[in-house]
Every structure is written in structure tokens, then in C-alpha cells.
């Protein structure tokens, strides 16, 4: 049973909301990300992406390997603007 368990901790998105979106036709990671906002918070999906893949596979009856992760973008972890001023100069 889909629950109100929080899956995406940055954006407070629950398992129930994810299942609902999948049932509405948002059935891949790039699309779910843009529909629900999962993977867009401070963790950038590093915490929740594997959990969402698991739910997607279960709800669509497909394999976990079928779902390619969304594009990783810099920075690897949050970096303050003041560190970026002149970054790479040394």
C-alpha cells in the first residue's frame, strides 16, 4: 500500500504522491523529476533517486535497470558562491 512516508526529504514528497504521478502517466525519472520536483532539492537526488527508482519499478512492473538516472550536474555538493569567485585561478 502506498503510504504517506516521505521519500524525497528535501522537497517533502511522499510515496503516495509518487504513486499517484506514475498512475497519471509520469513514468520515467526525467519526467517524474519535472512533475513532482523530486531530485531538485539540496541533495539533488543523492538520497531519494534510488528509492524513487524502486517505487517506479514496482508500480510499472519493470526492472530497476530499465530506469536510467537523471543527469548529474556540477557542483558535486553545494558550494558557497564566495568559494567560486576566482575558482580555478590557482
Partner 1 sequence: MVVVGAGVVGLSIAYHLCKRGLTNVVVLDKTHLNGGASGRCGGGIRAQWGTKENILLAKESIRFFERINTELGCNTFFRQGGYLFLAFTKEQAEQLEKNVRLQNSLGVKSRMLSPEEAKEIVPALSVERVLAASFHDKDGVIFPWPVVWGFAERVKEMGGEICEHTRVVGIDAPGGRVKRVKTDRGEIETRVVVNVAGPWSAEIAKMVGVELPITPVRHEIMVTEPIKPFLDPMLVSLETGLYLSQTMRGELIGGVSIPDERPGIQYGSTLLFLRRMARVVTELLPQAAKLRVLRQWAGHYDMTPDAKPILGDVDGFERFIQANGFSGHGFMISPAVGRLISELIVDGKPSMSLEPFSLERFLVGKVEREKVVIG
- Rule CB under 8 A: which residues touch partner 1? 28, 30-31, 34-35, 37, 40-42, 44, 71, 73-75, 78-88
| Cβ distance to partner 1 smaller for residue 64 or 84 | 84
How far apart CA 78 and CA 80 sit, in angstroms, is 7
| Cβ distance to partner 1 smaller for residue 4 or 83 | 83
| Cβ distance to partner 1 smaller for residue 1 or 82 | 82
Report the first-to-last Cα separation within the chain, whole angstroms: 55
Least distance between partner 1 and beta carbon 1 (Å): 27
Cα–Cα distance list, 23 to 50, 56, 65, 72, 83 (Å)? 19, 10, 20, 26, 43
Amino acid at each position: 500500500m502506498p503510504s504517506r512516508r516521505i521519500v524525497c526529504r528535501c522537497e517533502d514528497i511522499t510515496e503516495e504522491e509518487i504513486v499517484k504521478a506514475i498512475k497519471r502517466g509520469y513514468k520515467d525519472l526525467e519526467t517524474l523529476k519535472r512533475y513532482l520536483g523530486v531530485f531538485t532539492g539540496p541533495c539533488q537526488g543523492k538520497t531519494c533517486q534510488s528509492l524513487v527508482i524502486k517505487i517506479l519499478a514496482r508500480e510499472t512492473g519493470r526492472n530497476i535497470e530499465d530506469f536510467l538516472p537523471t543527469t548529474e550536474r556540477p557542483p558535486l555538493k553545494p558550494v558557497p558562491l564566495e568559494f567560486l569567485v576566482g575558482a580555478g585561478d590557482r
